[in-house]
């Protein structure tokens, strides 16, 4: 296992320390980024991602904690060492390009080499090569004012790579680009990561770009909230694959990237319980279900709230529907506790005598939802599937397919409709019983 190329431990960064307008931008952030990883800092404005980013660059000294890049503290460097660090160890791509309009494209690209005494002829030859790599060789003698946004950013990528840095920092690299240029720039960064084996650290607000990354560091209010590995990427950081349970939570995180984990659990339950509600009823129901997820109201209180008319804070449900909904939601909440117990022990590698009991209970919940008897073989196969799914050994699709496949072919033999219904039900138990921080 390689040593981390970037390591943060209990990092605090405070602006205007000791003054009346003191502001703590980050608090106790710890993370390790490994050579060859493509990672993203993701979160709403003001969450601290840019602060950490520029601290790694060497221009924003931490107030407390430890920051190491390639095993060294950059803030211990002399002025000369810092110049070398910021031009050789790190390359940076800015959202606003920051090209010098009075210099040609090729002169912008090779500008960082001046600090290392590279001769003009050698700089120009290398500049042409790197521009050709990123499809900009024909623009070398033009000036930045004559380039499109996408072309300008590819020049910025070329400049960032001109000194062959170990780490590429990208600050909202596609924030000013159209969709076509965005794809080109993201593919260039992916190539730098995969072909050149460079470590790429990106700030982004665009959830669609997270699929390029090995891991995503979610930040909120100056703290690292969770770290989510991309199950589609071969991981470089040491991660126990059995402890990555990819659930509906991960899908909802992409659709609602700035939402609190509690809200994502609420949305999952609302989706399960409703199909024909209007927008305003759904909003009201989400607010009420949030109280349920946070364990703040009883089943009886929930029923009475949803039966109230809309003007009095309810959603006008008839008593029969309210009773059925309250029964369903509290049943899921109660049954998901066995998921929570299993996952907590499993994540801590605490193998325990009650493991089989919890799996048997969860299997029973699925059979109860099915509502019919299963044969001994079907029950045994279903129990095995439940164990594998809750342990993260199989995906949601694997689970559903195995439920559908006929008994003679090694499946449970429940058919297409029930395999879909039972998978949907079991995924609701998983999302309610899984702590998102388990992704750390």
Per-residue pLDDT tens for 59-101? 999 999 999 999 999 999 999 999 999 989 999 999 888 999 9
The number of distinct structural domains making up the chain is 2
Residues 187 and 71 in one domain: yes
CB-based contacts of 253, cutoff 8 Å, min separation 6 = 207, 218, 228, 259, 264
Residues 213 and 285 in one domain: no
Tell me which residue range forms the domain holding 10.
Answer: 6-238
- What's the rounded Cα separation, in Å, for the pair 426 and 293? 17
Q: Is residue 301 part of a domain?
A: yes
Residue percentage of the chain with pLDDT more than 70? 90
CATH, residue 174: 3.40.50.300
Q: How confident is the model at residue 3 (pLDDT cuts 50, 70, 90)?
A: very high
Is the distance from CB of 374 to CB of 363 less than 8 angstroms?
Answer: no
Residues 368 and 422 in one domain: yes
Residues 88 and 217 in one domain: yes
Nearest alpha carbon to residue 203 among 187, 188, 184, 189: 189
Residues 321 and 393 in one domain: yes
Residues 67 and 190 in one domain: yes
pLDDT at 159 over 50: yes
Q: Is residue 243 part of a domain?
A: no
Instruction: Classify residue 393 by its DSSP letter.
Output: S
The residue-averaged pLDDT of 47-58 equals: 94
The pLDDT score that the predictor gives to residue 261 is: 74
Q: Is residue 252 part of a domain?
A: no
Q: Is residue 427 part of a domain?
A: yes
pLDDT digits (tens, 9 = 90+) for 267-302: 777 767 765 676 567 778 888 999 998 899 999 999
The pLDDT score that the predictor gives to residue 439 is: 42
The pLDDT score that the predictor gives to residue 440 is: 40
Residues 71 and 191 in one domain: yes
The residue-averaged pLDDT of 314-338 equals: 91
- What's the rounded Cα separation, in Å, for the pair 350 and 81? 47
pLDDT at 434 over 90: no
Instruction: Classify residue 41 by its DSSP letter.
Output: E
Q: Is residue 253 part of a domain?
A: no
Residues 136 and 278 in one domain: no
pLDDT digits (tens, 9 = 90+) for 164-189: 999 999 999 988 888 888 888 999 99
- What's the rounded Cα separation, in Å, for the pair 263 and 290? 7
Residues 48 and 195 in one domain: yes
DSSP string, 93-132: E-TT----TTS-HHHHHHGGGGGGT--HHHHHHHHHHHHH
The residue-averaged pLDDT of 327-350 equals: 84
Tokens of 5: 């190329």
Q: Is residue 246 part of a domain?
A: no
The residue-averaged pLDDT of 396-424 equals: 94
Q: Is residue 298 part of a domain?
A: yes
The pLDDT score that the predictor gives to residue 355 is: 76
Residues 341 and 287 in one domain: yes
Residues 178 and 277 in one domain: no
Is the distance from CB of 294 to CB of 303 less than 8 angstroms?
Answer: no
Tokens of 109: 């690209």
| Range name among 151-155, 262-266, 346-350, 354-358 with the lowest pLDDT average | 346-350
Q: Is residue 247 part of a domain?
A: no
Residues 133 and 211 in one domain: yes
The pLDDT score that the predictor gives to residue 222 is: 93
The mean of the pLDDT values for the chain is 88
- What's the rounded Cα separation, in Å, for the pair 307 and 263? 22
pLDDT digits (tens, 9 = 90+) for 223-275: 998 888 887 788 899 876 555 556 656 665 665 555 677 777 777 777 677 65
Residue where a domain terminates, one of 206, 238, 270: 238
Residue/partner pairs of 154-157 with CB below 8 Å, 24 or more apart:
154/184, 154/185, 154/188, 155/97, 155/99, 155/105, 155/108, 155/109, 155/131, 156/93, 156/94, 156/97, 156/98, 156/99, 157/93, 157/185, 157/188, 157/189, 157/192
The pLDDT score that the predictor gives to residue 247 is: 61
């Amino acid at each position: 296992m390689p040593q981390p190329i970037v390591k943060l431990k209990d990092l605090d960064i405070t602006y205007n320390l000791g003054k009346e307008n003191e502001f703590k931008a980050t608090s106790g952030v710890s993370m390790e980024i490994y050579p060859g990883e493509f990672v993203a800092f993701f979160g709403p404005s003001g969450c601290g991602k840019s602060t950490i980013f520029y601290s790694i660059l060497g221009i924003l000294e931490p107030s407390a904690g430890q920051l190491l890049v390639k095993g060294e503290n950059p803030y211990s460097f002399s002025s000369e060492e810092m110049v070398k660090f910021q031009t050789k160890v790190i390359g940076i791509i800015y959202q606003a390009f920051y090209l010098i309009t009075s210099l040609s494209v090729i002169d912008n690209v090779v500008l960082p080499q001046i600090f290392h005494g590279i001769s003009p002829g050698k700089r120009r030859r290398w500049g042409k090569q790197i521009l050709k790599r990123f499809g900009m060789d024909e623009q070398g003698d033009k000036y930045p004012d004559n380039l499109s946004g996408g072309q300008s950013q590819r020049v910025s990528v070329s400049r960032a790579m001109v000194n062959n840095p170990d780490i590429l920092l990208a600050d909202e690299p596609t924030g000013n680009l159209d969709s076509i240029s965005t794809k080109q720039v993201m593919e260039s960064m992916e190539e730098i990561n995969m072909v050149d084996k460079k470590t790429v650290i990106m700030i982004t607000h665009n959830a669609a770009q997270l699929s390029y990354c090995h891991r995503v560091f979610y930040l909120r209010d100056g703290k690292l909230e969770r770290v989510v590995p991309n199950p589609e990427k071969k991981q470089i950081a040491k991660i126990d694959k059995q402890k990555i349970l990819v659930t509906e939570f991960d899908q909802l995180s992409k659709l609602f990237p700035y939402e609190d984990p509690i809200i994502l659990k609420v949305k999952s339950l609302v989706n399960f319980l409703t199909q024909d509600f209007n927008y305003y009823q759904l909003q009201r129901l989400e607010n009420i279900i949030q109280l349920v997820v946070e364990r703040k109201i009883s089943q009886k209180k929930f029923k009475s709230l949803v039966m109230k008319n809309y003007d009095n804070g309810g959603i006008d449900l008839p008593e029969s529907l309210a009773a059925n909904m309250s029964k369903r939601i509290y049943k899921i909440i109660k049954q998901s506790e066995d998921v929570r117990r299993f996952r907590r022990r499993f994540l801590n590698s605490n193998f325990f005598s009650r493991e089989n009991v919890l799996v048997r209970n969860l299997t029973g919940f699925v059979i109860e939802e099915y509502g019919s008897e299963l044969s001994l073989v079907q029950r045994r196969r279903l129990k095995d599937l439940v164990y594998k799914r809750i342990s993260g050994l199989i995906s949601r699709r694997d689970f559903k397919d195995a439920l559908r496949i006929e008994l003679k072919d090694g499946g449970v033999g429940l058919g297409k409709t029930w395999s879909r219904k039972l998978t949907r039900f079991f995924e609701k138990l998983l999302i309610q019983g899984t702590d998102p921080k388990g992704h750390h």
